[in-house]
Structure 1
Amino acid sequence: MTDISFPDMRGKLTSQRPLSDLTWLRVGGVADYLYQPADADDLAAFMRALPETVSVFPMGVGSNLIVRDGGLRAVVIRLGRGFNQIEIDGDHVIAGAAALDAHVARKAADAGLDLTFLRTIPGSIGGAVRMNAGCYGSYTADHFVSAQAITRSGDLVTLTAQDLDFKYRQTTLDDGCVVISATFAPPKGDPDTLHARMETQLRKRDETQPTKDRSAGSTFRNPAGFSSTGQADDRHDLKAWKVIDDAGMRGATLGGAQMSPKHPNFLINTGGATAAELEGLGEEVRKKVYDSSGITLEWEIMRIGEK
């Protein structure tokens, strides 16, 4: 990629930035550039100045991401402290895209607002909006009011649920569009009850998931059923972990990659795994599941970059 120079920008631009230390799985190659904007105005100016031919990839905390070993031919946009505010405005919660899901859930509970489903989701609000993150039968879309975003051309826009067209684990957010904040209207609840519920959720998570291992959360989406409106969702009994287990892939390994013996829908780096081994094991699982049950598992972990 041609060298990029923006003398007026206030954020931090780093060339040839390894991405492995920015992902939970600790694998992956080098990005051409990493940009950390100072604030929304800085990000908008950067996007306007960036040549249209240059690809942009917005990156959160890397909790549900495999960066392939060949790296990424793009400018990675990573939001930091200027984008992690959490505000309570009456019955609404306004959160910056870099705010951690768990922090938003706790602050909302303090105010008697129920976003408890976010407490055990390992990510940030930008990713929750982009992927319609969900847990315990609740989805981001259920409480979403609007989001602010910077487009690839550098415009500040407000996005509605109709604009994003929420579906199971996906939206229609344009590539290169960077969510900078989101507003939610959660149901009310007693703060003590909400915090107690989250503590119960945490205990259940630690009992059933490999929280001490190096993973990226759920590897595959649950095989989707369909709601009364025809929308795909996972609020039914068919779960990815069960079809993986039935296919005999609990604990399966490839190099340093392993499907967790504790929860077979968690792909873990046991130490020294490459991105190729992690993705390769995932593809082996998909094949075994299809051969044994006829079900095609869909990746929940995003995989980016060159092999």
Structure 2
Amino acid sequence: MEQPDDVWNWDSGMAPDCEVEGGIAAPIDTHGVRGKLTPDAPLAKLVWFKAGGHADWLFEPADLEDLKLFLERLDGDLPVMALGLGSNMIVRDGGVPGVVIKLGKPFAGIELGDDHTLVCGAGAHGILVASAARDAGIAGMEFMRGIPGTVGGFVRMNGGAYDREVSDVLIDCDVIMSDGQCITLPAVDLQYTYRHSALPEGAVVVRARFQGEPGDPEAIGAKMDEIGAARENSQPLRTKTGGSTFKNPPGRKAWQLVDEAGCRGLRRGGAQVSEKHTNFLINVDDATSADIEGLGEEVKRRVYEHSGVMLEWEIQRVGRP
């Protein structure tokens, strides 16, 4: 019986060539690898916008050792990109070259450390981190209730909400480099600025350690509820969106600049500026990623013409146009 194109014998130690737009992806040595490797994998279903192209390869490692082995096999020959919840990302319609790493349940653990610390896997959701801290009487991490994403993305992007960000609480993180080497980076080495870090290209965050302080679980829970209600009331959470689109310029609010430039409800193709929160773009009618990104660029242009402020993207835009 003939096998489907996306299935092969792992014992052979080599995945087949994959036909992708622009050429043939190089074969990947999979000898000893236990995770799931998929060629030409659709990514739209994995990102909040529900739009975009395919990854040349999508790898879902079985565990930490499996990820290290896989990256050793790659030996830096292909670009690598980690993908969390896909909540802050536009995957362009031409797809993503190289390998996209999707960390699942084996990387989502949360453990209580010494002195009011939490040790969190990169796949742990922000709301679960905040809830674990609450249950342990650890204050200072309530803001993660308001970040739609996973720890790996928080660490890379210095994620933040409600006047706090990851750089305020991160002790260090464990990352797997593109050659499979596992290293620990203290927070100071990440050189955090607003929504940016110096994490090396191709490095995959697998674990992070956060420092909290003693707190009352009831008071922590009340603050989390307040954050949750504020998000529900002000943001278009039940739509196909990507979170905050633009960074807040110093001393200004991006949403206000967008609104003042007359962009509330502005459309391009199937994409629209949210009427509920103007720093959110939403997919309202089978938008392509080109629709979404093009709308964002038009908003930037109009804001600059109106106020002289050039907005910067907060959402990551990845892949081939």
| TM-score after normalising by structure 1 | 0.94
Q: 2:127 is matched with which residue? A: 102
Matched, 1:248 2:262: yes
Matched, 1:157 2:183: yes
Q: 1:230 is matched with which residue? A: none
Q: 1:232 is matched with which residue? A: none
Cα shift at 1:271: 2.5
Matched, 1:45 2:59: no
Q: 2:111 is matched with which residue? A: 87
Q: 1:287 is matched with which residue? A: 301
Q: 1:188 is matched with which residue? A: 214
Match of 2:279 among 265, 273, 280: 265
> Which amino acid in 2 is paired with 1:127?
G
Q: 2:78 is matched with which residue? A: 54
Q: 1:306 is matched with which residue? A: 320
Cα shift at 1:148: 0.5
The C-alpha deviation readout for 1:269-294, integer Å capped at 9, x for no partner, is 00300000000000000000011111
> Which amino acid in 2 is paired with 1:302?
Q
Q: Identity over aligned residues, as a percent?
A: 45
1:1-307 to 2 correspondences below 5 Å? 1-90=25-114, 91-114=116-139, 115-223=141-249, 225=250, 236=251, 238-307=252-321
Which SS does the other structure have where 1:263 is aligned?
A: coil
Unaligned runs of 5+ in 2: 1-24
Cα shift at 1:51: 4.1
Aligned length: 295
The C-alpha deviation readout for 1:192-226, integer Å capped at 9, x for no partner, is 01101111111111111111111111000111x3x
Which SS does the other structure have where 1:117 is aligned?
A: helix
The C-alpha deviation readout for 1:151-193, integer Å capped at 9, x for no partner, is 0111110001121111110000011100000001112211001
Q: Structure 1 segments of 4 or more deviating over 6 A?
A: none
| TM-score after normalising by structure 2 | 0.90
In structure 2, distance between residues paired with 1:269 and 1:3 = 35
In structure 2, distance between residues paired with 1:71 and 1:4 = 19
In structure 1, distance between residues paired with 2:213 and 2:256 = 32
After superposition, the CA RMSD in angstroms is: 0.9
> Which amino acid in 2 is paired with 1:11?
G
Which SS does the other structure have where 2:243 is aligned?
A: strand
Q: Which moved more, 1:4-13 or 1:284-293?
A: 4-13
> Which amino acid in 2 is paired with 1:247?
A
> Which amino acid in 2 is paired with 1:66?
I
In structure 2, distance between residues paired with 1:185 and 1:54 = 35
Q: Which moved more, 1:77-86 or 1:47-56?
A: 47-56
In structure 2, distance between residues paired with 1:64 and 1:37 = 22
> Which amino acid in 2 is paired with 1:182?
A
Which SS does the other structure have where 1:119 is aligned?
A: helix
Structure with higher Rg: it is 2
Which SS does the other structure have where 2:255 is aligned?
A: helix
In structure 1, distance between residues paired with 2:63 and 2:238 = 34
